[in-house]
Amino acid sequence: MSKTVVDEEFVSLQLDRPGVGKSALQIQKHSIEPGYENKPIERSLYILSKGDDLQKLSVIQNLPNLLKADHNGTVSRIIPKIQQELPVNSSLEFQLISSKIFKILIEMKLDMNLLRPVFQGIESKDPMVANAWNETLLGVITFLTEDAIKIEVLPFTVKQSQLNRPVFYRVNSCKMLGKIAVHPKISAFDVKKDVVPVTQSLCQDCLYEVRAAMCVELPNVAKGLGNEANVKLCLLPCLVELSNDENMQVRAAAVNAAVLLIPYLNAESIKQTAIPLVKRLCLQSFKEGDMTFPHVAKNYGNLLTNLQHHLTDADSVWFVDHYQELSKRGLTIIHEDLESEPLAILCREYCAGNLPDVAFFVLTIIPHETQKWYITFKDLAADPCFIVRKTVAGRMFDITKILGPEGKIILPDLLKLIRDDSEEVLDVLVPNIGSTLALLASVGYLSKEQTTQATLDTGRALLKCQSEIFKYYNWRRNKTFLEQLEKLPLCMPPDFIHQHFTPLILKLTTVARPRPVRTQAARTILFFLRYNMKENHRKWIRESLINSLCNSNCCYTRHIFILMCIEAIQIFSWKYFKEHFFTHLLQLGEDPVSTIRLCVVNLCPTLKQMLIMPIDRNLLTKLENLVSKLEMMEKDKDVLNSLRTKSKEVRTPHVNRPDVLLEEKRKIEEEDKIQQGKTAGSAPPTGPRPRPSHQPPSNIRSDVTRDGSRNNMRGGAKIPTRTSSGARASSVISGSGAPPPLSEMSFLDQHFYIDAGVALPEPAPTGSLKALEDDMSLLNIEHSQPLELIVPTVSVENTNVENMSDDDLIELKTSTTNITDDVKVGIEKKTGVKSKNSGDGVKKRHKRNSCFFIRDIAQTNQSQLKRRSLNIVTGESSRIPVIAKRASKLKKTTIKTDNGDEVVDKMFNKNGSSSDNKLLENVAISSNVKNKCSKEISITKGSNLPVLIS
């Protein structure tokens, strides 16, 4: 193809070619001298004087900014220049923009009169310009002063209402009279003197447009009059006359005016004039050829609300019957297409919109006619036109709220609307499904305790609705539907939800396309999980979420898990989250996708905030290890930038606010109640769990004084029993009925109590214990004592084995560690059994050896010091110390246990003071001892008898 042919084809297309650029004259005309750049007032004056219309428009649009920059200069120089320009400039754009800007200027209440340009614009021959300036005047009347209204606006309005003026001006004068009558600065006397005469004149205008416009403004004039007598005298005759007008548009306006005028009439006028007038208008609307029935249906709710205190029972029934007839308008006539009558459909739509008001009227005035109202409601809810059903669906929540206990009668119709095939109906109904079902559950028609027929029907309808709305790609509607399902635990039993809805929502978390829908599905599942009362169901839901989301091969799905965890922090208590989601969320911190790691890093401060208990030490270590690992190994720039900020927040101590802790307490209590409800067969404890007593049991000797003296017991020995760890902890904390704390005892005093048969707990870190007590007391949570803080011990007083039975002796021998060799031998002699064969049914415990061996490793292996407790019949324990020479060479001691696997290194201070001898213990426990510790079997050390250094 030759080049000539191509050029000819391009020419034949007649493409728009770029025009020639601006000429030098045009550029010079639109250019402004550089001297005006920093002088906005002079620059604007120059443009208004020599610029074209487009440049002048830019100045007018910039007037508010000029007022802020130079208020005085704009008011004194720019605005007068614009006022001079308005009458001579006939540009439509200039006039329209000026009308909007002048409205803004008048609302700013400047110290100048801006009404004259407005009046001039209204007088314009161009209808568009006149209408624009008229809207400006109507919009600013409220901001005008009383003098401006009386001196300028009211005379101008009266002038516009004259018969020699065109229809447009007379109609606008009706609107201005209504605005003037409700002005806050105009008194009722001024309204009666200046506004009412003009109003009565316009109500008798020869043109129906003017009469209809004035009829619409009658309620505003009545509001300005205020006095009921004046309203009855001045306006009620006009309304009656307009209701009999030959024009249908005027009668329709009279219907609206009659409904709105009723609140300004006294009871006598309402009964004698208003009610008969309204009845006549309703009956007249049913005449053939009358088209006012949509206006009657539109105002029916307000009509019944205003008349309900003035109607007799007969009148009330009449209005309900008439409403029922209006709701059937257009359905009794046989047509091939019912939608061919738009006025009939509009009438039924208005009737559907007034269903809540009519329901309130019926339940308040004539409750025995509720069934008649329900028949009307049922017909409208099943209307063949989707527009009517859509309106009913939008009023379902209000109707259910008004009906209260009677709301159960509308449930079948609600379920029909939920199963509706129309997308428009579902758009309106879906946002209120959850609230409506919750109202029905509050009145007892839907129950979360048992599955009824109503529950089954509601579940089927919701599943049908879900399948219908998910056919379309409207993700906002799908998300809204899932939000409504969050309220199902308030309406249905957990087992029913778990069987029919949980698998469906779990599937949506992975297969739904839009991310907001998947995130909302995960949030809905969390609500199902929270209120499920069966542990196996909860476990299955958690495992499904972790397997399908957290362990997914798709990074987008793993991101959904992170978003779900953010919601879980808000829904569940911190305790629950730490038990079931915390570790899995931290694992995503090592995800190969940088976006996932970034999300986890951003959550680290929030995770650190919930680690407030000492039992959270393991999780805190994992969190800190993750942060440290990312700091060393992370290469992504965005993750590193976020990590620098978040790591500082993680390492900064954080104090939770009291309201946050109280909210956590509420969540924990609610979760505990739900977990208690999982065993319906056994009655859960109704009261609080009993706390361990601060007083020691009666069989535990508590009369040991601090100086080591004690009272002798003359009676028979009591059977020694074990004290609980909680009681021991409480007694140690309170200090009542127990030895003083270890921090207050000297070295010798501690071993004296041990030698006396009183077991002392190991010194606990008081700082962490105090923090734990403070946190627990603030949260008021039942908690178990941490293993690292409380050492379970057995406290035994001196006993007389001669007075004890065989079973008691076996129990004593196998259950206590604080027992001397002499007592042990006495027990064996009396029972005739060896220590290894004692107590078949009693669990054998590791017993405390009453001696320990001190070896001087540096000098010799033969130097051993042994000590055995003496059998002192007086009941006093031996306080004979073991004396070792050359204490400076004592570097290592070995404590024997039953299995011989524990080695304790004790280093003495160089000074020889017994009160300053502190032992540093470095315990190395073998693997089998650790296994026993995991089974809550504590390894008891040898005797802590003092060593005196000579």
| pLDDT digit string, tens, across residues 769-794 | 444 444 444 444 444 433 333 333 34
d(C-alpha 275, C-alpha 303), whole Å: 10
* Position 256 in a domain: yes
496-534 pLDDT tens trace: 999 999 999 999 999 999 999 999 999 999 999 999 989
Residue 805: pLDDT band (50, 70, 90) is: low
pLDDT of residue 748: 53
Strands (E), 593-707: none
As a whole number, mean pLDDT of residues 21-39 equals 67
Residue 55: pLDDT band (50, 70, 90) is: confident
Tokens of 366: 């004539």
Proportion of the chain above pLDDT 90, given as a percent: 48
Residue 113: pLDDT band (50, 70, 90) is: confident
The pair phi, psi for residue 893, each rounded to 5°, is -125, 150
pLDDT at 753 exceeding the cut of 60: no
- The b-or-e profile of 931-941 (16+ CB within 10 A means b, else e) is ebeeeeeebbb
Question: Residues 122, 134: contact at Cβ < 8 Å?
Answer: yes
Give the closest residue to 741 by CA, choosing from 756, 729, 724, 757. Answer: 729
Which range has highest mean pLDDT (28-42, 127-141, 283-297)?
A: 127-141
pLDDT of residue 703: 37
pLDDT of residue 224: 92
Q: Residue 67, CB half-sphere, CA atoms under 13 Å: how many?
A: 16
Query: Based on the domain organization, do 772 and 871 belong to the same domain?
Result: no
250-285 pLDDT tens trace: 999 999 999 999 999 999 999 999 999 999 999 998
pLDDT at 837 exceeding the cut of 90: no
Residue 341: pLDDT band (50, 70, 90) is: confident
Query: Based on the domain organization, do 735 and 595 belong to the same domain?
Result: no
DSSP string, 747-766: HHHHHHHHHTTPPPPPPP-H
pLDDT of residue 176: 94
d(C-alpha 878, C-alpha 186), whole Å: 106
pLDDT at 448 exceeding the cut of 80: yes
pLDDT of residue 796: 44
Look up the domain containing 96 and give its range. 32-143
Query: Based on the domain organization, do 862 and 800 belong to the same domain?
Result: no
For residues 265 and 40, the model is more confident at: 265
674-696 pLDDT tens trace: 888 743 333 333 333 333 333 33
Tokens of 220: 């505003």
The pair phi, psi for residue 923, each rounded to 5°, is -95, 125
Q: Spell out the residues 6+ positions from residue 769 whose beta carbon is closer than 8 angstroms to its own.
A: 733, 789
The pair phi, psi for residue 573, each rounded to 5°, is -75, 160
pLDDT at 81 exceeding the cut of 60: yes
Residue 51: pLDDT band (50, 70, 90) is: confident
The number of residues making up the chain comes to 950
| Mean pLDDT of the residues in the chain | 76
pLDDT at 562 exceeding the cut of 70: yes
* Position 771 in a domain: yes
In DSSP terms, which residues pair with 948 in a beta bridge?
883
Domain boundary among 598, 630, 645: 645
Query: Based on the domain organization, do 927 and 857 belong to the same domain?
Result: yes
861-892 pLDDT tens trace: 444 444 433 344 444 444 444 444 444 444 44
d(C-alpha 379, C-alpha 364), whole Å: 22
pLDDT at 117 exceeding the cut of 60: yes
* Position 468 in a domain: no
Query: Based on the domain organization, do 732 and 641 belong to the same domain?
Result: no
pLDDT at 329 exceeding the cut of 70: yes
178-229 pLDDT tens trace: 999 999 999 999 999 999 999 999 999 999 999 999 999 999 999 999 888 8
d(C-alpha 162, C-alpha 121), whole Å: 19
* Position 221 in a domain: yes
* Position 328 in a domain: yes
d(C-alpha 123, C-alpha 131), whole Å: 10
Domain count, the chain: 6
For residues 834 and 74, the model is more confident at: 74
pLDDT of residue 924: 39
Q: Mapping DSSP to helix (H, G, I), strand (E, B) and coil, where does residue 317 land?
A: helix
The enclosing H or E element of 949 equals strand 947-949
Query: Based on the domain organization, do 315 and 395 belong to the same domain?
Result: yes
As a whole number, mean pLDDT of residues 745-767 equals 52
Proportion of the chain above pLDDT 70, given as a percent: 67
Give the closest residue to 721 by CA, choosing from 802, 791, 795. Answer: 795
360-400 pLDDT tens trace: 999 999 999 999 999 999 999 999 999 999 999 999 999 99
Query: Based on the domain organization, do 148 and 137 belong to the same domain?
Result: no
* Position 758 in a domain: yes
Q: Spell out the residues 6+ positions from residue 826 whose beta carbon is closer than 8 angstroms to its own.
A: 801
Give the closest residue to 185 by CA, choosing from 136, 230, 219, 151. Answer: 151
pLDDT at 852 exceeding the cut of 70: no
Query: Based on the domain organization, do 308 and 242 belong to the same domain?
Result: no
Domain boundary among 143, 163, 189: 143
251: left (phi over 0), alpha (psi -120 to 50) or beta: alpha
Q: Which amino acid does the sequence have at 111?
A: D
pLDDT of residue 91: 81
Q: Give the least confident one: 159-163, 529-533, 683-687, 839-843.
A: 683-687
pLDDT at 912 exceeding the cut of 80: no
pLDDT of residue 489: 94
394-434 pLDDT tens trace: 999 999 999 998 888 999 999 999 999 999 999 999 999 99
Residue 327: pLDDT band (50, 70, 90) is: very high
pLDDT of residue 355: 95
Residue 88: pLDDT band (50, 70, 90) is: confident
Q: Which amino acid does the sequence have at 680?
A: A
Q: Mapping DSSP to helix (H, G, I), strand (E, B) and coil, where does residue 854 land?
A: strand
pLDDT at 736 exceeding the cut of 90: no
pLDDT of residue 783: 40
pLDDT of residue 902: 41
pLDDT at 353 exceeding the cut of 90: yes
pLDDT of residue 820: 60
Domain boundary among 143, 168, 188: 143
Residue 756: pLDDT band (50, 70, 90) is: low
As a whole number, mean pLDDT of residues 895-904 equals 42
Residue 949: pLDDT band (50, 70, 90) is: very low
Query: Based on the domain organization, do 738 and 780 belong to the same domain?
Result: yes
Query: Based on the domain organization, do 122 and 227 belong to the same domain?
Result: no
Q: Give the least confident one: 70-79, 438-447, 696-705, 919-928.
A: 696-705
Residue 814: pLDDT band (50, 70, 90) is: low
As a whole number, mean pLDDT of residues 802-811 equals 60
* Position 148 in a domain: yes
pLDDT at 493 exceeding the cut of 90: yes
599-658 pLDDT tens trace: 999 999 999 999 988 898 999 999 999 999 999 999 999 999 999 998 888 888 877 788
Residue 841: pLDDT band (50, 70, 90) is: very low
In DSSP terms, which residues pair with 920 in a beta bridge?
907
In 10 A of CB 742, how many CB atoms? 15
pTM of the model: 0.66
pLDDT of residue 701: 35
pLDDT of residue 219: 94
Residue 38: pLDDT band (50, 70, 90) is: confident
Q: Are strands 893-894 and 853-854 parallel, antiparallel or unpaired?
A: antiparallel
User: Helical H runs in 113-247?
Assistant: 115-122, 127-140, 146-148, 154-160, 167-181, 188-190, 196-203, 208-216, 218-225, 228-234, 236-243
For residues 56 and 241, the model is more confident at: 241
Query: Based on the domain organization, do 207 and 323 belong to the same domain?
Result: no
SS (H, E, C) 320-380: HHHHHHHHCCCCCCCCCCHHHCHHHHHHHHHHHHCHHHHHHHHHHHCHHHHHHHHHHHHHH
* Position 134 in a domain: yes
Query: Based on the domain organization, do 298 and 400 belong to the same domain?
Result: yes
pLDDT of residue 894: 43
As a whole number, mean pLDDT of residues 560-568 equals 96
